């Protein structure tokens, strides 16, 4: 699902449960990114689909980068 009017209103309780009621700090954003990379969050605010299978080879390094606030998109 892309960032659109539909995205803003669809499944709000699911989004709050997955991402948190209020993500206001870089640390919290970093946690959302890391959780997505590790499969703890199935949908990501900045991606329409799931991670590609080849991303599995990069999970450890992407997690480390995101935990250190080097946020990765389209990894």
- Is the dihedral angle over the CA atoms 38, 26, 66, 33 positive or is it negative? positive
The per-residue pLDDT for 1 is 40
Q: What's the pLDDT tens digit per position in 59-74?
A: 999 999 999 999 987 6
**pLDDT, tens digit, 9 for 90 and up, residues 5-41:** 555 666 767 766 666 667 778 898 898 889 889 988 8
pTM for this entry: 0.70
């Amino acid at each position: 699902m892309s960032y659109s009017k539909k995205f803003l209103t669809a499944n709000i309780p699911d989004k709050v449960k997955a991402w948190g009621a209020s993500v206001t700090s870089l640390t919290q954003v970093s946690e959302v990114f890391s959780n997505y990379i590790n499969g703890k969050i199935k949908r990501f605010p900045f991606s329409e689909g799931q991670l590609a299978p080849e991303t599995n080879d990069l999970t450890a390094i992407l997690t480390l980068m995101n935990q250190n606030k080097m946020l990765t998109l389209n990894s």
